[in-house]
Structure 1
Amino acid sequence: MASPTAVPSPALHGRDAELTALLRLLDAARGGSGGTMVLRGARGTGRSALLGAAAGLADGFAVLTTRGTVAESRLPYAGLHGLLRPFADRLAVLPAAQAAALAAALELGTADGGLALPAAVLNLLASAGRPVLACVDDVHHLDPPSREVIFFVARRLAGEPIALLIGAGDTPSGAGDGPAVPDDVPVLELGPLDAAAARRLAGDLAPELAEDVRASLLEVARGNPLAIVELVGSLTPEQMSGAAAPPETPPRDGRLWRAHTARLAALPGATADVLLLLAADPDLDTATLLRAVRPGCALTALEPAERAGVIVRLAGDRYDFRDPLMRAVAYSAASPARRRAAHRLLAGLLDCEHRRLRRAWHRAAALDGPVEELAGELAGAAAAAGPRDGHPAPYLALERAAELTAHDDVRAARLAAAADRAWHAGLPWRARSLLARLRSVTVPEEVRDQAELVRGNLELRSGRTTSAGEGLLAAAEALLPRDRDRAVRVLIRAGEASYLAGDDRRFLAIARRAAALRRPDDPAAVRLMFEYLAGTAATFRGRHREATGPLLRVLELAPLVRDPSVLVWAGVASLLLGDDVRALRLATRAVETARARAMPATVPQVLELMIQAEIWMGRYASAAANAVEGLRLARESGRLNSAGQHLAWLALTTAVEGDEETCRIRAASAIALAGAHGLGLAGAVGHWALAQLDLAAGRHADAAERLRATARPDGANGHLVVRVMATPHFVEAAVRTGDRERARAALRVLDGWVSSTRSPDRRALAERCHALLAGPGEAEERFAAALDLHRGGCCEFETARTQLLFGGALRRNRRPGAAREHLHGALETFERSGARLWAARARAELRAAGESVRSPRPKVAEKLTAQQYEIARIVAAGATNREVAARLFLSPRTVEHHLRNIFTRLGVRSRVELARLMS
């Protein structure tokens, strides 16, 4: 067997708030007002790494360290000896009685029990002549006398240049008598890493790791940094590439496994038996547990585990493992015979009627009957289970049923069904793994078609849209003779792949194929899909009046539909009709439905529609917030194509804010992902975002060139919908660069669409474009007409853009008084929206119109970019990097990068200094 792959030492990820707290503590100690902080968390959450990071940040400090160990936990003052050895030659600075007490403790392990010893330790640290950082790790393993002295010192550091950092486990009691951490000492709890930080850590450890393998490991690790490190380090080359199944528990030779098994081994046998029941069934309630074990004995047996911090009592009178990884270890470390006995016991306690799937799962795990009968019972229960039915997940049950099945055709059908369930549960990596296992069995034609459908869906959401379109078309044709309704849905998904790719020709061909399948007795959802395809295809051909009928019929059918994906198509129809408010309502309903039906993997796709409606309405802050959530959910569920779309929308909202650096980072990421996956829509939005940035900064030639790229159907940057949405920006850029013919040609396309809608916002944008192309007299009339239309719409931001252009035209026509009226309105809206570059343009126009306008930024901000100043202002108010990131829709890493530049530009070294300067 190939050896595991070596991995580098990881960087800290996801600990911005904790690092900020450490910096504040060090700054306070440097200023003569020290303190104590306990970092408490489960094994592997990074206590030691944070203590090491603090030592690295402690410039000018004397750094002392010690670590508690089980081997020395009964040696009095062993911990104190380890901490104070570098200061052992300084005892002479202490009063004689204190020096004698400390010497006796360090050399003989004895003390008289008075105040002399702890006072000596405090005075010794304070006499160092410079700030001191004392780091005590694993205090729960420290000998009790040392721990008592350490916490005596911890309570008395106010006014001293001493920072005391203590690392403690999550167990509620220490190695000796009494609690490991007293209640009156400040504690910072270390939870698991969030999904983004966990992904970054895994990426640092193994950049070449297959995406599906990374996602599977992160699911096992549950945000534990050490688990991620050990899991990645245990991978063989075959597992790294995805050719072999990844591990499902931490490696048995790793620190986590050894630590967890040691804690379990220290518990009584009866306790271990009850813990195995809890590990075998995460949904086990206390009533069932009491029936499993003689009444009263179960709770008594659990008491040692509760005292040791292995389990916690939850609301609803249930118990669970404090550390999710402990559950996996408790189950996997038990012998097969003990596991089967636990499952057999649980199966006998669960009734068939209400807990059918759980009972079948336990029977199958216990092999409590003929194997084929158990497999059939389990598969039937899984097929009938809903997404909210709890343990086990239906895909796991179907996978287990397949493993118990002897006949290849039945096993293949169950594996394909498991892959489909895993896909809908938002676990594409698991779905791909299950599909890969079909290669080893004989697959009937019907099962092969089902598997190809799952593969097509996987490609549509996380692969190449071209491959997705081809696979889904083939699946639709294969399904047509057996399941026409489903075939039509698959055909629509093939059309969606073409839409995402920007492949208008294939979309039109799919629409023609669908039109030939229509029947008058189709159900509402199927009729809606047909009308959607017909209306969208007519729109793409430029036949907007022809499109109106089918699109309106889509909206008539929408109230009869509950499927969130179908509601998305109804929302697109609303946008094509210019009814943004209805599109937003449909998107909201679709999101609520997806969440109510436990379909989290569908939410990112639905949020794309909501964001597009909000962009049309100028609600950029709300669009950015939804894009942040969509990006998070898309990454968590492995939907990379949706992640690319949300990145592109985030780039667009950042362009409106005028944050050039962040916009370029987001747009580049979206465009790169679009190129790799054939996402014409995401690529076009990314280029549109950069063009908006150029336009706001007055780089009209660059803006025009970028927007011309959105018209190229090259599979990465071109898309008809984005080209039309961006027409007002292209016309403005083209007119400024003298390319009036291309501006007129683009406007003709926009006019054709706008004239078929009743949207005052869209008609106002078209009128504004005509004003830009008109002569001086007509231009003023056109601008005035555009503003009249805007008043009937809801997009304040585009109203301000029209006011800015109108004010500029009036100023150039030597009407400064009239110009200032419109420019003031534009400036007010831009400042309220946080659109810094546009606000600067409005101020420049006002100054050119003869009005003195001061920048609202203070002098310190002159050294910073707009984004840097905003970050500095929020950080100075006490926000952590993570809080700043959430408010400004950035990643914590980007905030950290900005903050380093801010410190350099302002000449400050800490957040405390920054707060003083900003005040």
Structure 2
Amino acid sequence: MSPVDRVPVLRGRGEEERALRRLLDGATTGSGGALVLAGPPGMGKTALLDLAAAHASPGFRVLRVSGVEPESRLRYSGLHALLHPIAAAARLPDAQAGALAAALESGAAGGGLALPAAVLGLLSAVAAERPVLACVDDADLLDPASREVLSFAARRLSGAPVVLLFAARSPGRDLAGLPVRVLEGLDAAAVREVAGDLAPGKVAEDLLAAVDQIARGNPLALAELIGALTPDQLAGLAAPPVAPPRDGRLWRAHADRLAALPARARRLLLLVAADPGVEAETLIRAARPACALAALEPAEHAGLLRCADDRYDFPDPAVRAVAYHSASLLHRRQAHRLLAHLLESRGRDGRTGRRLRWAWHRAWARDGDPARLAGELAEAALGARQAGGHPEPYLALAKAAELTPHDDPAKAERLAAAARHAWVAGRPQAARSLLAGLRSLTTAPDGLRGRVQLLHGSLELLGGETRSAREELLSAAAWLLESHRMLGVRALVRAADASYRAGDNRAFLAIARQAAALRRPDETVATQLMFEYLAGMAFTFSGSHREAAGPLRRVVELAGSIRDPAVLVWACVASMLLGEDDTAHRLSARAVEAARLRGAASAVPQLLEYTIYPEIWMGRYPSVAATAAQGLSLARETGQLNTAAQHLAWLAITAAVEGDQETCRIRADAAIDLAEAHGLGVAGAVATWALSYLDLAAGRPADAANRLRAERRTSSHVVIRVMSTPHFIEACARTGDRVRAASALRVLERWVGSTSSPGLRALVARCRALLAPPGEAEELFQEALDLHGQAAYEFEAARTRLLYGSALRRERRPGAARTHLHAALETFERYGARLWTEQARAELRASGEPVRPAPEAAAGELTAQQLQIARMVAEGATNKEVAEQLFLSRRTVEHHLRNVFSRLGIRSRVELVRLMS
């Protein structure tokens, strides 16, 4: 193999690799240096040393040493291991040669500079023939004398062709003054790449998220956890792992760190591991008569434990897992029994959080009859609010099911409840594994089947194939409509939602007809709302917009007394179809807030989708970008690929508005790939709309018209078709296809005519102006601007001014044209819409006005996208991490960051951190 072939591939360490290459390149020109790679075990410090050695070979002389515990008290043992291959390779001054010989032969050396100077001189002399790379791994375990001498040499390498690298858990005082690069956990993109390298098949996003909750981006933890996944875990039939493999290097590393602590500290750490976030007061009572705070100091100094707001926890979940699972079963039960005793006086006081913790510890301690313990725990879990505390209700219900006798029907009920709570908490992998456990039970109540199918269908709707989800949900509705009517109607609405996402209007209409036949006069408010929603949407999909207004209006009215976020979202959709964007935005925000208060993590990414619809209409693109980025991140964490596709598509729209062509295509292509794999017509339609929007902004109206024309032939997604109609009409008008434009306008007019929205009527007036004969367009453009003035559609008003100004310029009225073009330009510049800005400038030049260069924003004035990137960078994110989280190209991030530095008058990330804080 060539040297290039031997270079290892490290995921997510591009910046570190570039830093190493810069050092090596400097050494080849006679100016070396040093670097300390710091980070906890498993972060890839040794792998980076291997990478440096691979890049250095064969032009460098490579020296390596690794600190080991048994030699850490032998003076100069580390120096001996590193330098003995070259000790005789150079002639040194007598004093230095004597000091070096004494150190390497007997571990003795006099004070002063003789030995440090000898080491520096030896490395420099050897490097006279070819550059030297010296790698010191596990520098923390090197004997202090060797570490002190090597750090002395490292601080004086700038004029020598030598690179000295240290890998350590923390730099420490001995390595002070040397450049340090602290290795953080891998970002989400690198985690997926590592999983792709290690797993024989694709690891599901939700399983990977569960694994990374333990690993926290630690490469070794990821490698060991992914390598230990079972076929059932990979298939989603078994729960994700809760600890690193016991036979792995990371387990041993953490176990060794824990074993080095005093016995009292280890005993208290087991209590913290059994009850993460435990109060200091509880630990103080547990440690009496000793002082708990003093006993825990060694663990805090070692970085194993942290205290915040008088609560103790482990910064690293993997350390917590090792601290708990490495203890014997007897010691674990004793810890739980003690915690239950300490919480008992408050566990019965009715406060559900403490009551749940008390019941949880009693259950794990097996402190009583298992059936009674199971009942106590299930009751406490069902009464608790799901807010991410310990234990999470789904874990408590799963434990209660485990303790319940096999022939007790309550076992199935508790498993099903655990699965539902896991799904609500955003743990789809755990939900699926719990549902799989139901298959082996023979005592499940008949009434449970419908609820289980509803949960299966809901999981499939968020992360699977839409057709399969619809069938599962329809089957659930058939079981539930008589026994649990509210759940049965909810299953019908979710089946309709699956049809909506697939763009299958016929299936939606069929479900709406089925629902209409099931209505009763005595429905609850929430059930009435859902029936009215299906009726209103059915009229909308049939093009009967005036008939739709009545049911949709009743949906909004009924929403006033609704608290369930999953029901509120339908009221948001109804408001949007009525053209009441402010109401839709308010209802969606209310739904998101309600979901967060309930701890319903699985609902938030989907609810954020419905926040975006009205924001798109109102042209609040910076807000769309922030909402969609948050929704995408949450959707990935909770394994909701279908929702992720939708947020990717909306992010493609915002990139099109900004004129970022590369990023728009990256996002749109990713959304389309997911849409094709999962039958998501809506996500595919939005992504195609984004690409056509980009074509229109870039002055390619024919391409925009062709994209939207093809989408309209293959997709029946009415809502997105109507939303994209103003762009389709504009593209057709600019390419002379007035027949298709007029046909699309008639459809838009029918819907907008059923609303009272001035913003929507402004868009209709603009489209009419584009198709109007000579002499009639001006009045229509002016009508559109008057209507824009009554609404909050600022960006669309600027687009209308651009089109109006262009029309006036073609009519040879440059003075009137420039008034509108200047106003449009100012808005586009403020939004950072580069391509629209270029169009406005081009029109101004064509009108005969010399256009000034694009002005720099005032110091401190950032666009919303720049502000978002600045905040992420100030919080420590790399350019790659920002690009991954916001689905931008890295080049776009670098472009924005350069502008941020320029506008804020700063030169470095350090200054940015100081300024943003």
1:488 aligns with 2:486: no
Residues 168 and 181 in structure 1, CA contact (< 8 A), matched pair in contact too: no
Q: Structure 2 matches for 1:684-699, cutoff 5 A?
A: 684-699=685-700
- 1:800-859 deviation digits (Å, cap 9, x = unpaired): 22222222222322333333333333333223222222222233333333334466499x
- 1:755-800 deviation digits (Å, cap 9, x = unpaired): 1222222112111211221212112322232222222222222222
Q: Which residue of 2 aligns with 1:583?
A: 584
Q: Which residue of 1 aligns with 2:421?
A: 421
- 1:324-365 deviation digits (Å, cap 9, x = unpaired): 212211222222222222222222222232422222222222
Q: Structure 2 matches for 1:86-105, cutoff 5 A?
A: 88=87, 91-92=90-91, 94-105=92-103
The CA distance in 2 between the partners of 1:608 and 1:10, in whole Å, is 41
Q: Which residue of 2 aligns with 1:403?
A: 402
- Per the TM alignment, residue 144 of structure 1 is displaced from its structure 2 partner at its CA by 1.2
TM-score, normalising length: structure 2: 0.87
The CA distance in 1 between the partners of 2:235 and 2:419, in whole Å, is 20
- 1:685-717 deviation digits (Å, cap 9, x = unpaired): 0110111122223333322222123334x6xx5
The CA distance in 2 between the partners of 1:796 and 1:10, in whole Å, is 52
Q: Which residue of 1 aligns with 2:902?
A: none
Of 766-775 and 179-188, deviating more is: 179-188
Q: Structure 2 matches for 1:519-598, cutoff 5 A?
A: 522-598=523-599
Question: Which one of the candidate residues 208, 211, 214 is aligned to 1:217?
Answer: 211
1:206 aligns with 2:206: no
The CA distance in 2 between the partners of 1:32 and 1:621, in whole Å, is 49
Change beyond 3 A, Cα 1:469–1:151: same
TM-score, normalising length: structure 1: 0.87
Q: Structure 2 matches for 1:484-523, cutoff 5 A?
A: 484-518=485-519, 522-523=523-524
The CA distance in 2 between the partners of 1:889 and 1:756, in whole Å, is 42
The CA distance in 2 between the partners of 1:164 and 1:317, in whole Å, is 42
- Per the TM alignment, residue 284 of structure 1 is displaced from its structure 2 partner at its CA by 2.5
1:364 aligns with 2:363: yes
Change beyond 3 A, Cα 1:897–1:827: closer
Q: Which residue of 2 aligns with 1:282?
A: 276
- Per the TM alignment, residue 751 of structure 1 is displaced from its structure 2 partner at its CA by 0.4
**Identity within the alignment, %:** 61
The CA distance in 2 between the partners of 1:201 and 1:64, in whole Å, is 29
The CA distance in 2 between the partners of 1:747 and 1:61, in whole Å, is 71
Which consecutive residues of structure 1, in runs of 5 or more, have no partner in the other structure?
1-7, 173-178, 859-869, 904-911, 914-919
Residue 167 of structure 2: SS of its match in structure 1? strand
Q: Which residue of 2 aligns with 1:331?
A: 324
Residues 663 and 887 in structure 2, CA contact (< 8 A), matched pair in contact too: no
Q: Which residue of 2 aligns with 1:781?
A: 779
The CA distance in 2 between the partners of 1:47 and 1:137, in whole Å, is 8
The CA distance in 2 between the partners of 1:261 and 1:757, in whole Å, is 66
Q: Which residue of 2 aligns with 1:750?
A: 748
- Per the TM alignment, residue 682 of structure 1 is displaced from its structure 2 partner at its CA by 0.6
Q: Structure 2 matches for 1:854-873, cutoff 5 A?
A: 856=854
The CA distance in 2 between the partners of 1:602 and 1:489, in whole Å, is 14
The CA distance in 2 between the partners of 1:26 and 1:254, in whole Å, is 33
Residues 463 and 640 in structure 1, CA contact (< 8 A), matched pair in contact too: yes
Change beyond 3 A, Cα 1:628–1:101: same
Q: Which residue of 1 aligns with 2:340?
A: 347
- Per the TM alignment, residue 112 of structure 1 is displaced from its structure 2 partner at its CA by 0.6
The CA distance in 1 between the partners of 2:525 and 2:34, in whole Å, is 65
Of 843-852 and 52-61, deviating more is: 52-61
- Per the TM alignment, residue 205 of structure 1 is displaced from its structure 2 partner at its CA by 2.2
Q: Which residue of 1 aligns with 2:890?
A: 895
Change beyond 3 A, Cα 1:665–1:626: same
Q: Which residue of 2 aligns with 1:841?
A: 839
Residues 645 and 671 in structure 2, CA contact (< 8 A), matched pair in contact too: yes
The CA distance in 2 between the partners of 1:892 and 1:822, in whole Å, is 34
The CA distance in 2 between the partners of 1:774 and 1:893, in whole Å, is 39
- Per the TM alignment, residue 66 of structure 1 is displaced from its structure 2 partner at its CA by 3.0
Residues 500 and 681 in structure 1, CA contact (< 8 A), matched pair in contact too: yes
- Per the TM alignment, residue 435 of structure 1 is displaced from its structure 2 partner at its CA by 0.9
- Per the TM alignment, residue 21 of structure 1 is displaced from its structure 2 partner at its CA by 6.2
Q: Which residue of 2 aligns with 1:435?
A: 435
- 1:638-683 deviation digits (Å, cap 9, x = unpaired): 1111101000001111112222222112111111111121211111
The CA distance in 1 between the partners of 2:233 and 2:428, in whole Å, is 17
- Per the TM alignment, residue 269 of structure 1 is displaced from its structure 2 partner at its CA by 3.9
Residue 776 of structure 2: SS of its match in structure 1? helix
- Per the TM alignment, residue 563 of structure 1 is displaced from its structure 2 partner at its CA by 2.4
Residue 136 of structure 2: SS of its match in structure 1? strand
Q: Which residue of 1 aligns with 2:168?
A: 168
The CA distance in 2 between the partners of 1:551 and 1:28, in whole Å, is 69
- Per the TM alignment, residue 534 of structure 1 is displaced from its structure 2 partner at its CA by 2.8
Q: Structure 2 matches for 1:128-143, cutoff 5 A?
A: 128=127, 134-143=134-143
1:254 aligns with 2:255: no
The CA distance in 1 between the partners of 2:734 and 2:786, in whole Å, is 24
Change beyond 3 A, Cα 1:23–1:897: farther
The CA distance in 2 between the partners of 1:602 and 1:799, in whole Å, is 34
Of 664-673 and 421-430, deviating more is: 664-673
The CA distance in 2 between the partners of 1:742 and 1:659, in whole Å, is 29
- Per the TM alignment, residue 56 of structure 1 is displaced from its structure 2 partner at its CA by 6.0
Q: Which residue of 2 aligns with 1:862?
A: none
Task: Please give the root-mean-square deviation of Cα atoms over the aligned residues, in Å.
Answer: 3.6
Residues 61 and 131 in structure 2, CA contact (< 8 A), matched pair in contact too: yes
Change beyond 3 A, Cα 1:785–1:131: farther
Change beyond 3 A, Cα 1:133–1:846: farther
Of 454-463 and 352-361, deviating more is: 352-361
Residues 46 and 137 in structure 2, CA contact (< 8 A), matched pair in contact too: yes
Amino acid at match of 1:412: A
Residue 66 of structure 1: SS of its match in structure 2? strand
Q: Which residue of 2 aligns with 1:916?
A: none
The CA distance in 2 between the partners of 1:485 and 1:583, in whole Å, is 24
Amino acid at match of 1:100: G
Change beyond 3 A, Cα 1:785–1:133: farther
Residue 96 of structure 2: SS of its match in structure 1? helix
Residue 48 of structure 1: SS of its match in structure 2? helix
Residues 236 and 429 in structure 2, CA contact (< 8 A), matched pair in contact too: no
- 1:710-749 deviation digits (Å, cap 9, x = unpaired): 334x6xx541111001111111222333332221111101
The CA distance in 2 between the partners of 1:703 and 1:38, in whole Å, is 53
- Per the TM alignment, residue 147 of structure 1 is displaced from its structure 2 partner at its CA by 1.4
Amino acid at match of 1:591: V
- Per the TM alignment, residue 125 of structure 1 is displaced from its structure 2 partner at its CA by 4.8
Residues 684 and 718 in structure 1, CA contact (< 8 A), matched pair in contact too: no
- Per the TM alignment, residue 270 of structure 1 is displaced from its structure 2 partner at its CA by 4.0
Residue 421 of structure 1: SS of its match in structure 2? helix
Amino acid at match of 1:431: A
Q: Which residue of 1 aligns with 2:859?
A: none
Residues 882 and 892 in structure 1, CA contact (< 8 A), matched pair in contact too: no
The CA distance in 2 between the partners of 1:275 and 1:515, in whole Å, is 60
The CA distance in 1 between the partners of 2:323 and 2:874, in whole Å, is 40
The CA distance in 2 between the partners of 1:332 and 1:34, in whole Å, is 46
Residues 25 and 35 in structure 1, CA contact (< 8 A), matched pair in contact too: yes
The CA distance in 2 between the partners of 1:83 and 1:899, in whole Å, is 41
Which consecutive residues of structure 2, in runs of 5 or more, have no partner in the other structure?
1-5, 857-864, 899-906, 909-917
1:823 aligns with 2:821: yes
- 1:391-418 deviation digits (Å, cap 9, x = unpaired): 2111111112222222343322221111
Of 671-680 and 532-541, deviating more is: 532-541
The CA distance in 2 between the partners of 1:18 and 1:562, in whole Å, is 49
Residue 405 of structure 2: SS of its match in structure 1? coil
Of 314-323 and 575-584, deviating more is: 314-323
Q: Structure 2 matches for 1:715-726, cutoff 5 A?
A: 717-726=715-724
